[in-house]
Amino acid sequence: MIHSRSLTVAVLLLVVGCQTNPTRKAPALAIHPPPAGSAALAAAPPEPERPPVEEAKEADDLWRALVSGYRLGRVENSAVEREVERLSAHPDALSRQLGRGEPYLYYILQEVRKRRMPTEIALLPCIESGFRPVAYSRHGAAGLWQFMPSTGRYLGLKQDWWYDGRRDPIASTEAALDYLVQLNRRFDGDWLLALAAYNAGGGAVARAVRINREKGESTDFWSLDLPRETRRYVPRLLALARLIAEPAAHGVHLPQIRNDPRFAKVEVGGQLDLKVAARLAEMKPEALIALNPGFNRWATHPEGPHYLLLPVEKTEIFRRRLEKLPPEQRMRWTRHRIRRGETLSGIARRYGVTVAALMKANHLRSHRIRAGRNMLIPLSVSAPIEAATPVARQRLEYRVRKGDSLYRIARQFGVRVRDLMRWNRLASNRLRPGQRLTVIRAL
């Protein structure tokens, strides 16, 4: 996560094999666009041209392909040695952690190479999120690259009711790598400083460099007075890269990952119900949703992005069937007869949709509705809604109080803990006072 974790969490990450921990505390520093005419950016030289990294001879082994592009070097430093010891102390956990990167590593590695970056950077999502695109920190960071909401918006990642680009494997990876390239240029081609800035913020690293320069001291990463967590962040990546290059020497078993793509990006040309998409691709809805965690609801965003990630072997049949799909079947709908006293906002809450979505679906120009008329309701992919019955579901927002737990909240509302975690996309059962939770219960 970009400059939003604490030392305690850094230690825990190491113990469980560089997993995401939602207890990390966001520091006060925030990432802001560099000021116009920034001297640091203006003076930074362009990324030097380097020959593309050649494909590893062992084309079927992603790890060898990754190691063939290492450029950060083998750093002999006590901080790196400590991280090597911590990571290698739990080889099974580390192997499982790396295995979770199987769907994403090939794509990330190709994007890293495209930008002529050191391929060690492809391992950053292990440090950031444990290769979980749905990982959330309790302070709001999300996705493989753990962007805070403000940072995501600065980098152009759309975040709204329908979609969160921080969880989109393609959008978030492109944003993270482009940002790292920008930081590398800002710090005159020094990748270790760029990585430190990704963690602590460009301003924090620039200040540390300036202070050392004014003292006449070295301005390399190892000489700077940086936040304690950042001083461990960069060595942790270097240590992980070393373990992957020398697994046998450290008792680490690398999971087998083929050096070929797992998914393909397929344009769908407009809003599409995810359950309909799953049927076209002959997939279970859960499997398709797992590949497309950026979408918050039962369908793709009405205004885009208009693409889905699909297993490579499913793309051909999906494209053929999508071409033949009648436009009126792209979305699943049900009808709701408006009762006396109902409001547009009340109907929207009942079905778990926004007022704007209802207005757009029914071509309404205002919030005024009439009893006795029918409304079209887009159905959720997660569970069918029996609109014909008087039983309704209520969507609530609950503010976490001191001493609350997921178990306690679940008992209060008569729901299951695992449903609370799913509705709120929680990576763990840890809560903080003031946190807002969505609760859906039957009336």
Name the residues annotated as catalytic: 128
> What are the structure tokens assigned to 266, written together?
């397929």
Contact 278, 288 (CB under 8 A): yes
Query: Helix, strand, coil % (nearest 5) of the chain?
Result: 45, 10, 45
| Pairwise CA distance, residues 154 & 17, whole Å | 30
* Residues pairing with 397 in the sheet: 438
Q: Can you tell me whether residue 197 is helix, strand or coil?
A: helix
Helix segments in 89-227, DSSP class H: 91-99, 105-114, 124-129, 149-154, 169-186, 191-200, 202-215
State how far the alpha carbon of 121 is from the alpha carbons of 176, 202, 247, 383, 389, in Å.
Answer: 10, 17, 18, 39, 53
DSSP readout, 54-108? PPPS-TT-HHHHHHTT--S-----HHHHHHHHHHHTSHHHHHHHHHTTTTTHHHH
Q: Are the CB atoms for 255 and 97 separated by under 8 Å?
A: no
Is the peptide bond between 45 and the residue preceding it cis, with omega within 30 degrees of 0?
no
* Tokens read off for 19: 């997993």
Q: Please state at what angle helix 228-245 crosses helix 7-15, rounded to 10 degrees.
A: 20
Tell me the β-bridge partners of 394. Answer: 441
State how far the Cα of 91 lies from the Cα of 129, in Å rounded to an integer. Answer: 18
Per-residue tokens: 188: 């005159």
